[in-house]
Amino acid sequence: MKSDPTVSARIPFAVGRVSMREVAAQAGVSRSAVSLALQQHPSIPAATRARIESAAAQLGYRKNPLVAALMRSRRAPATIVPAQASLAFFTADRPNDAWRDIDTVRQLHSAASARAAQRGFRLDEFSLTKTDMRPKRLADLLKARGVHGVLVAPLPGDQSSIDFNFTDFAVVGLGPSVQNPAIDRVADDHYRSAQIAFENALALGYRRIGLALPAYASRRMGHRWWSGFLVAQQSLPQSRRLPALMPETRDELPSLLNAWIARHRLDAVIFSIRDPELLGHAPREIGLISLAVADSGGAIAGIRQNTDLIGIDAVDLLVEKAQRWETGALRSPRFQLVAGAWNGGLSAPGAGRPRQALLATP
């Protein structure tokens, strides 16, 4: 039966790890000789080193990178401050630092960086879009620096894939955007968020509630916002189940918004775009509810995603994967969801009341 390469990374810890002692027995040398040989130490003759490396390959021995980093720091002279082990934070924006202008991504990075420090790691940024940085070169750079875990930031725009070979790296994605290669991801529970937003709009007295989001954003979320909205509408009579406004791009939304509101006689709109001011020209009596509230200051009503917990959980999962030597893309990747919470705000004061945030453009 042909083996499945997508699960090969899991075989060593599924059937039991091969120890250094077993490699030593196979090669007919001491355990210390194996340790030195795998570090390319000059005290081990080349022929012996080749025999040890062959035995390690035959047995499927793989060095635990986190343990190796710890042992190196313990062997360092007391006068030398040991280097902190690193995790990589991959971004794919153009320009390279554009992600810093996005509140959600910036908050995810901050939480992940703090959690990495708690776990004994430094989170170093690497851009996938630098003109002088090819995937192979970046992989070689990470290996040379002893970086074995990669955290992938949310991809920009409608991008859903990245050109990088994760075979030798543990990897976790922040958010749902990375769909190829198949990797573990930690993200907001967008499906439940849409339901929470709809339920709170009803509680505020709104009766005709619409959803506005770009089609490309819906696709990268696996249509989870849209699905949650459709399911939430099932509690209403058929006459109040309204179609979403879903043009292809976010730039098309403002020009289509008011005609759509008038056609369906809406009194509230749930929207997803990160720049809520783009919808600020809607009539003042229309409640505006965001699915990605940037802060809890009270201006914008909607869902406050738990970016801190997403960042923490992603780092914890990444470290655990590195400890288990679980590398590369997976046949059955995990998708871990973190629930957001309702954030009341002036942009949705309740049915029949003009909003006091995102005022209509004169």
Classify the C-alpha dihedral 212-296-227-285 as positive or negative.
negative
> Both 284 and 229 in a single domain?
yes
Looking at the domain assignment, is residue 7 inside a domain? no
Mean pLDDT of 269-277: 76
At 262 the pLDDT is 97
Shared domain check, 253 and 148: no
Over residues 44-56, the mean pLDDT reads 87
CATH of the domain at 61: 1.10.260.40
Q: Chain-wide mean pLDDT for the chain?
A: 85
| 142 occurs within a structural domain | yes
Q: Is 360 a domain residue? A: no
Q: Please report whether residue 354 resides in a domain.
A: no
In a domain, 358, yes or no: no
Which whole number is the average pLDDT over 150-168? 92
- Please report the pLDDT score of residue 84 as a whole number: 61
The answer to whether residue 1 is domain-embedded is no
For residue 351, being part of any structural domain is answered with: no
Question: Are 212 and 298 in a shared domain?
Answer: yes
Work out the average pLDDT over 351-360.
82
- pLDDT of res. 158: 83
CB of 172 within 8 A of CB of 318?
yes
**What does the pLDDT read at residue 1?**
39
Beta pairing, strands 301-304 & 341-343? antiparallel
C-alpha dihedral, 310 to 316 to 318 to 319, nearest 10°:
160
Chain segment 232-266, per-residue pLDDT in tens: 999 999 999 999 999 999 889 888 999 999 999 99
Residue 65: its pLDDT value, please? 52
Same domain, 224 and 295: yes
Percent of the chain with pLDDT over 90: 54
Task: Say yes or no: 66 and 101 in one domain.
Answer: no
Residues 140 and 171 in one domain: yes
Name residue 205's beta-bridge partners: none
Res 75 pLDDT > 90: no
Q: What is the CATH number of the domain that holds 281?
A: 3.40.50.2300
Question: Across residues 72-98, what is the average pLDDT?
Answer: 69
Judgement on whether residues 327 and 259 belong to the same structural domain of the protein: no
Domain range for 124 is: 85-188+308-339
Give the residue, 85 or 302, on which the prediction is more confident. Answer: 302
Residues 183 and 196 in one domain: no
pTM of this prediction? Answer: 0.75
Nearest by Cα to 177 from 197, 194, 162 = 162
Is the separation of the CB atoms in 88 and 149 below 8 Å?
Answer: yes
**Alpha carbon of residue 227 to chain centroid:** 21
Is 356 inside any structural domain? no
Specify whether 267 is located in the same domain as 221.
yes
- The arithmetic mean of pLDDT across residues 264-283, rounded, is 82
Q: Read off the pLDDT of residues 170-196 as tens digits, 9 standing for 90 and up.
A: 999 999 999 999 999 999 999 999 999
* Per-residue pLDDT, 62: 65
Domain count, the chain: 3
Cα angle value 310/166/178 (rounded, 5°): 45
Residues 134 and 170 in one domain: yes
Q: Are residues 259 and 123 in the same domain?
A: no
Mean pLDDT of 156-165: 90
Stretch 87-111: mean pLDDT, rounded? 91
Q: What is the mean pLDDT of residues 275-285?
A: 76
- End-of-domain residue from the set 23, 51, 75: 75
Residues 273 and 327 in one domain: no
Over range 212-225, report the average pLDDT: 92
For the segment 2-22, what is each residue's pLDDT rounded down to a tens digit? 434 333 333 333 334 677 888
Task: Give residue 251's pLDDT.
Answer: 86
User: What's the CA angle centered on 269, arms 266 and 275, to 5 degrees?
Assistant: 145
Given a cut of 80, is residue 358 above it in pLDDT? no
